[in-house]
Amino acid sequence: MKVNSKALELIKEFEGLRLEAYQDSVGVWTIGYGTTSRAGIGVTVGPGMKISQSEAERYLQDALDKFGEKILPGFTRQPTPDQYGAMISLAYNIGPTAFLKSTCLRRFNAGDIEGAADALTWFNKAGGQVLRGLVRRREAEAALMLGSDATAPTPRPDAARSSVLQSTELRAQAGQVMTGVGAAATGISMLDGWAQVAAIVVGGLVICLALYAMRRRIARWVG
């Protein structure tokens, strides 16, 4: 499966083009558009190495083809070109082994695209430190996976949460449930006889469905 133009431009933008070998943020010798010796394309990158732009383009394409061969067996469902592009961009950055073990891939295979895009944003550290460049790259990849404009990503509101209680979506939903319970109680108190019984049954069902939806969202957040 080939990487589409949107994903290719995203990778180029965030990798940057360097025609002379340099050490990246964790000390790995790199050249071109993020090509390293570990790419497995027959290139050994080291001090003093220089290449042309056409060579950088070829190295990148060869590396993406190689990475694609490694990660495609991990998919149990067919990704769209944008979804594949977002995930191979991640794999190119963190390595195919880490990607194949990722929650991002697991959620994607389960059909949870939004959850996969969320899990993708977790890979924002290098050397144990959160890097703004990686945060921006993950946001762009997540936007591409969700079919949004990858050049102007909007950060997910719960991307930096560390506790389920920090999820703005869950807190809002819980507030809606409590408001609904209060309103239902007031309305039921004004009825009598079978009308009151029927209202209690219907209200109970609505509350149960709302709580079930919250439980599923919490399970996805944790998973």
Catalytic, 15? Answer: yes
Terminal Cα distance for the chain, rounded: 28
Catalytic residue among 15, 55, 114, 139: 15
DSSP 153-180: ----TTTT--SGGG-HHHHHHHHHHHHH
- Assign a CATH topology to domain 5-145: Lysozyme (1.10.530)
pTM: 0.64
The closest alpha carbon to 89, from 145, 128, 37, belongs to: 145
* CA 134 to each of CA 13, 130, 138, 144, 192: distance values in angstroms, whole numbers, following the listed order: 12, 8, 6, 15, 61
pLDDT in tens, the chain (223 residues): 899 999 999 999 999 999 999 998 789 999 999 999 999 999 999 999 999 999 999 999 999 999 999 999 999 999 999 999 999 999 999 999 999 999 999 999 999 999 999 999 999 998 888 999 999 999 999 999 999 754 434 333 333 333 444 343 444 444 444 545 454 554 545 556 666 555 565 556 656 555 555 555 444 444 4
Q: Counting beta carbons within 10 angstroms of the beta carbon of residue 125, is it exposed (0 to 12), middle (13 to 18) or buried (19 or more)?
A: exposed
